[in-house]
A and B are shown apart, each in its own frame.
Chain A
C-alpha cells in the first residue's frame, strides 16, 4: 500500500528535533521504521514516542541504535535462538488450531476464551509457571477507564473489561472487591500553576472546577457514576485521608484483584476445558509457508498450528519480527511497588490518589490501594528501562514513592514496609493496545502493547481477540460442554473452627500450618503442586506461603521439604522461579 504523504510529512516534522542526527525512516502500510543513531537510550525512547504520536501511524519499529547499544547481547540471543531452533524444528510435539504465545493474564484469558469453542488450543510460556511477567508485579487494580485518551482501543476495552469482572470472579473463583477509588484534590494539586491563578480563585478552581472537569472526562470516556465529594463526606468515606483534602472524585467502578490469582485461575480453567499449557517453552522461531505460519518452534519442540496469537508481553516485538511481521517495538517501562504489612489494611478503604498536575514523570498513574488480601500497596512508578527483564528496585525508587505518596494519607506506618518489587510494562510507541491481524502474516494475531490498564481490560481483550480470530477465518462453534467454573484453592484462613476441625479429621495435613504469617497449611501446598506448581514462587503465588512479614525466612525450608517430596527431587534440584534455590550438600554427602 502506498504511504500516505501526510503521514510522511508529519513523521518528518516529528523528527525535527533530531536534525543533526543521522536518522532515516520509511513507512510501510502505516508502520514507521526508524533507522540511524542517537546518543542515548533516553533519546531512543523520545524519538519513538514522538513518531508514535503522529496521526495515522499505526506502529513504530525503532531500529535506531544508541551509544552503548548492547550488540553482544543481541548477537548472543540470536545465536542461542538459532541453536535452539535447529534442535527443535524437527521435533513436533503437538498440533493445535491455535497456539497462544505468552502465559500472562492476556494470554491465559485468550486461551480460556478459546476453550469455549470447538478448537484445540495450546499456550506456550517460556517460564516454568504462568503469570510471571508483568502480571505478577502488578498492583491488582481494575481501573474504571477514566484515564485513557478517548479515541484509543485501551479506553474501549478498559471500560468494557472492568464491568466484566464480577462474572469472571464468580466463574473463576478469585478474590475480587469493587471498592471504588477516591482521587483527592488538595492545595498541592495545582501548586505549580498557583502563580497563574489569582488567590481567590485558587480554591474555587480546586473545589469546584477541577473535580467536575474530571467527572466530565469520565463521562466522555463512557464511565458513568463518577461523583464529586467534598468536606466531611471525604473523611466519612476515607477516615485516614489527608486532612487538607478540599474535594475528591469518587469512581465507584474501580476494583481490586490479585493479578496472578486471576491468570492462574484462567490457566487452570483453560486446562480443565482441554487447553494444553507448555511451560518452559520459549518460542525461538516459526515454520512458515508463504505468508502463513505452519509451526511454532519452542525450546520444548515444535507445535504445528493454524493460528497464532502473540501475547508475549515485553517480547511481543521480537515474536512479531521472528514471525515476519514487525509492526512495533516495545519500550519497556518499569514500575516499582511497595507492599505493606497486613496490619495496615484497615487504614485504606479505597484506591487512593492525590491529583498533582502536572504529573510527576516517575509516578504518574500510581497511588495507594488496598489488596484483596488485606495488605496495602504504594505505587507503581514509571521508568523507561533498556532491559526487558529489569525488575531491580533502586533505593531511590523507594524513597520517591515514600515521599510522593506521604501526602495522601494523614498518617501511615511506613516502617511496616515488608517488600518491594518491580514489573515491566510492555509499552509500544503508539501507547495503545495493538490487537489486530498481522499485516504480513495471514494467520498471526497481535495482542501487544498491553500495558496499564491491561489487567482491567483482560476480559474484554480476550473477547475482542477471539472475535478478530473469527474474522481471520477461524471457525468458532460453541462447545456445549464448556465448564466456565474453576474451583479456587481451598484455604482455612477464613474458615470457622468447626469446619477446620472437620477438615483435619478427614486429612490431617489441613492441621499442619507451614506458613504462620499467612496461615497456609501443608494440604494447600500439596494441592497447589498437584495443580501444576513446580517452583517455590509458584507455590507462593497460589497459596501465599512466604508473603508475610518474614518474607519466607521461616517457611521456605518447610515448603522446600514438601516440594522435594512431592516432585521426588532433591533439595539441590529445587527452583525458586527459574534459578536453583540451593547448591550441593554438606561435604558433598548427598542424602
Chain B
C-alpha cells in the first residue's frame, strides 16, 4: 500500500490501513510529516473528532505519534515522479536524497492536499514586483522561518486563512494590516472575524477587490476598486492604497495534476478527482482523500474521508462486489459542489457526502431526489452558506432504490 502525502488525511489513511494489517508506505514531499497543519499554529482543530480544540501541530502530532507507534514506513523529502496503474499492480516511482525509489503496491491513496489560488488565476492586473504573496506561504514564512513579509500589508480575501494570517502578522510585528474582500461580509467563520479581526481593530473593506498591483521593484500599493453584488467592478470607485506587501488568500485548489495526468476523471466543480462513496477515483484501486478531493473547512471531515478510503481499500483488495452500474450522486441547482460523485459498491455503510451550497439560508431543507424527481430523503440544516462545507449521510438502501440521486437545497 502506498500513501502519497503525509498530511493529516494521508496520515489518517495510513494509520487506519496499518491497523487493518496492511503494509503501508507514506511518501511525503516536505521534510517532515504533518502537512499544512504544521504551520497552522493557531488553535481550533479537532473539535469534531476529539471534542477539543488543538493547534495544527498538536492535531497532526496525534496522528504522527500513531504512525510511529505502529511503525508505519515513511519517507520524507520524497518527490513522487510518476505513478503507473496496471490492472492489479501499481508502480510508484519516487525520488529522494537516497536515490530513486520504485514501489510496487496493490492500492494507492493520494492525499496530496491542495494549493493556493494565485493572483493570476483571478486575473489581477498591474505588475508583479517583490511583495506579492499567497497567505499560506506567508504563514509558513512567519511561523517556521520567523521572517516578516513587509511592514504595511494588504490582505485580499475575507476567508479564514486571510484573517488568521492578518492576526499573526499584527501580533508578530508588521505595522499595518488591512483586509479587502468582494463579499458583503467576511466569508470565514464568525469566530475568526471576532478573534482575528475585531479583537485587533484590523480595518477591512467589504465589496472591494484589487484591480491593479502597483510597483516596480517592490510593491508601492494597490489600486482598489469597489464591486457590486456580482463582484463586478464599479467604475470610478478606484482608490490607491499604499502598502509594501499584498497577500492573496483567494481560495484553494486541489493538487490533482498528477491524477489528471494518469487519466483520472476530474470534476470541474471541485477541480479534484471524481470519487465513489469510498473515495476511490475513476482508476480502480487508486483512492483520493482530504483536500485533494475538495477543500474542507474542518480537518476532522478531511480525516473522515481518509477513514472511508481505508475501508474502500479493504473492499477493493478483497474483491468485493461492485454494482453493475454505479448510481450517480450529483448536486442540484442550489449546490455549488458535492462529493462523492457516485455509489459504486454493492454493499457497505451509509453514504457520507459533503456539499457546498451556492446560497445562504437559515433553516434550510436539503432534499435528495431520484432520477424521476421523486423525493427520497430530506434533512434540515440550521444554516447553510457557500463558504461552509456541509456533511450529509444518506441511507444506502435509499440510494439502492434510486437510479440516480440529486441533492439540492430547497
- Chain B: minimal CB distance from A562 (Å): 13
Interface flags, B204-231, vs A, CB<8A=1, else 0: 0000000111111110000000000000
**Interchain CB contact under 8 A, A586 and B142:** yes
Give B118's nearest chain A residue, CB to CB.
A551
Given contact pairs A557-B140, A586-B148, A504 touches B257 in the complex (Cβ within 8 A): no
CA A420 to CA B213, docked complex, whole Å: 13
CA A585 to CA B174, docked complex, whole Å: 9
Interface flags, B124-158, vs A, CB<8A=1, else 0: 01111111011011001110111111110000000
**Interchain CB contact under 8 A, A585 and B148:** yes
**Interchain CB contact under 8 A, A420 and B145:** no
Give chain B residues whose Cβ lies under 8 Å from the Cβ of A395.
123, 125, 211
**Interchain CB contact under 8 A, B130 and A576:** yes
- Chain B: minimal CB distance from A469 (Å): 34
Give chain A residues whose Cβ lies under 8 Å from the Cβ of B9.
none
**A94 contacts chain B at the CB level, 8 A cutoff:** no
Give chain A residues whose Cβ lies under 8 Å from the Cβ of B146.
585-586, 589, 591
Give chain A residues whose Cβ lies under 8 Å from the Cβ of B140.
557
Give A417's nearest chain B residue, CB to CB.
B120
- Chain A: minimal CB distance from B410 (Å): 31
Q: Which of B10-18, B97-105, B278-286 binds A?
A: B97-105
Interface size class of A (residues with CB under 8 A): 35 or more
- Chain B: minimal CB distance from A9 (Å): 44
Given contact pairs A418-B118, A556-B137, A582-B141, A504 touches B95 in the complex (Cβ within 8 A): yes
CA A561 to CA B147, docked complex, whole Å: 12
**B81 contacts chain A at the CB level, 8 A cutoff:** yes
Give B152's nearest chain A residue, CB to CB.
A583
**A579 contacts chain B at the CB level, 8 A cutoff:** yes
- Chain A: minimal CB distance from B397 (Å): 39
**B52 contacts chain A at the CB level, 8 A cutoff:** no
CA A78 to CA B120, docked complex, whole Å: 36
CA A571 to CA B147, docked complex, whole Å: 7
**A500 contacts chain B at the CB level, 8 A cutoff:** yes
CA A159 to CA B180, docked complex, whole Å: 52
**B77 contacts chain A at the CB level, 8 A cutoff:** yes
**A419 contacts chain B at the CB level, 8 A cutoff:** yes
Give the contacting residue for A580; candidates B137, B212, B218; CB below 8 A: B218
**Interchain CB contact under 8 A, B244 and A583:** yes
- Chain B: minimal CB distance from A309 (Å): 26
Give the contacting residue for B141; candidates A500, A557, A587; CB below 8 A: A557
CA A393 to CA B129, docked complex, whole Å: 12
Of the listed residues A420, A504, A579, A587, the one surrounded by the most CB atoms of chain B closer than 10 A to its CB is A579
**Interchain CB contact under 8 A, B260 and A582:** no
**Interchain CB contact under 8 A, B148 and A584:** yes
Interface set, chain A 376-427, CB cutoff 8 A to B: 389, 391-395, 398, 417-421
Given contact pairs A501-B99, A511-B99, A579 touches B118 in the complex (Cβ within 8 A): no
**B47 contacts chain A at the CB level, 8 A cutoff:** no
**Interchain CB contact under 8 A, B147 and A572:** yes
CA A549 to CA B114, docked complex, whole Å: 12
- Chain A: minimal CB distance from B10 (Å): 16
In the complex, the 6 A-B pairs of residues with the closest C-beta atoms, listed nearest first: A579-B217, A579-B218, A576-B130, A579-B130, A513-B79, A508-B97
Q: Report which B residues bind A (CB closer than 8 A).
A: 29, 77, 79, 81, 93, 95-100, 102, 115-116, 118, 120-121, 123, 125-131, 133-134, 136-137, 140-142, 144-151, 172-173, 211-218, 244-245, 257, 260-261
What would 19 more interface pairs be, CB under 8 Å, given A550-B118, A553-B136, A582-B149? A392-B126, A392-B214, A394-B212, A395-B125, A395-B211, A398-B123, A417-B123, A497-B102, A508-B97, A511-B96, A513-B29, A513-B79, A516-B29, A561-B145, A577-B129, A579-B217, A583-B151, A583-B244, A586-B173
